[in-house]
Amino acid sequence: MTGSALPQLLRPRALRPGDLVVIASLSGPLPAAYEPNVERTVVVLERMGFRVRRAPLLEVGRRHWWSAATPAEIAGELNGLLRDPEVRAIIASDGGQTALGYLDLIDVEAIGADPKPILGYSDISLLHLVLYARTGLVGFHADMAVPGFGGHWQSAPVARQAELEKLYSRLLTGTAAIGALPASPSWECWRPGRVEGRLIGGVINRIVLAQATRFALPLEWFDGAVLFWEEMGGLASYVWGYLQVMRHCGILDRISGMVVGVPREVSGLEPGVSPTLPEIVLDVLGDRDIPVLGNVEFGHAGPNLPMPVGIRVGLDAQQRTLSLLEPAVGPHAMTGLVG
């Protein structure tokens, strides 16, 4: 896909009850301590009405360096899932450090022929951004097995779990727009304003890394976009630096709004001693008068509100609302594709 025109969105096909969802190691390994998280994820997904299978590389103790397997092995398994007509969605088991190793090995033709929801965040941000750039695929920056469905969901209040379960089910099976995402008191208006635009983002360092590859999003695709990002670990000064990179390359001059996730374990945000996250963001934005909504529940800090990459959203920072204005999935897979 080349040129400045916005991509034709490639919506994954909607799931039906009984469809097969596969949990796969798309990056990091599965330590023994996290096996119960995977088992709990199976329960959550089955409660949503899906059949669940684990991909072979998702096995306790299997590892290669910091990964579940070599990049070529992970890509091979992912490509097999993309080509398998019975598999209707792919959920990452965890994040990690591996996706950069196989961005060039993904079967993009298989995605075009049978687009499927791919769910995950952290390192999986790279997949969403690169596959959006290469195919127009809507990627789901959303919970995965270990830190999400099988982790943070379990410690959330029962009412919140039920709310998220309903939201994810509607997102994956419904071909109507979700509308307003469920807000909470944590949401903060860092700069007022109201805009609509395509949702683009992920973990902030992965956005910057993706833009350094040959699979970068054309800068024009950021025109009018609502940029969402979050960060886990590292230093506040790194966040400031990543935002400066996006300023230098022109992204911040093109976007119409920004949504910032709840930070987790970012050093250098100590109250009264260091700059706050709003101060860092507004410092880099300067006089760019765009709405900024902060402290939204997506990313590493807890149960994720799903952020579908490429979907048109409405943002009203002052009213603290974020709405999905179009469906993330398209018509169901053709009858006969699934067993």
Q: Where in the chain is the domain with CATH 3.50.30.60?
A: 179-324
Is residue 170 within 8 Å of 164, Cβ to Cβ?
A: no
Give the per-residue pLDDT at 333.
Answer: 67
Q: Where in the chain is the domain with CATH 3.40.50.10740?
A: 20-173
Cα 278 from Cα 155, distance rounded (Å): 28
pLDDT in tens, 242-290: 999 999 999 999 999 999 999 999 999 988 888 999 999 999 999 999 9
Q: In the predicted model, what is the mean pLDDT of residues 4-14?
A: 88
> 49-58, 108-117, 177-186, 268-277: which range is least confident on average?
268-277
Which tokens sit at 235? 């230093």
311 CB burial (10 A radius; 0-12, 13-18, 19+): buried
Q: Comparing C-alpha atoms, which of 190, 220, 214 is closest to residue 289?
A: 190
Tell the CATH topology of 20-173.
Rossmann fold (3.40.50)
Cα 256 from Cα 245, distance rounded (Å): 18
Cα 150 from Cα 39, distance rounded (Å): 7
Q: In the predicted model, what is the mean pLDDT of residues 194-217?
A: 97
pLDDT in tens, 141-169: 999 999 999 998 888 999 999 999 999 99
The correct answer on CATH 3.40.50.920 for the domain covering 179-324 is no
Buried b (16+ CB within 10 A) or exposed e, 240-249: bbbbebbeeb
Which tokens sit at 112? 């075009």
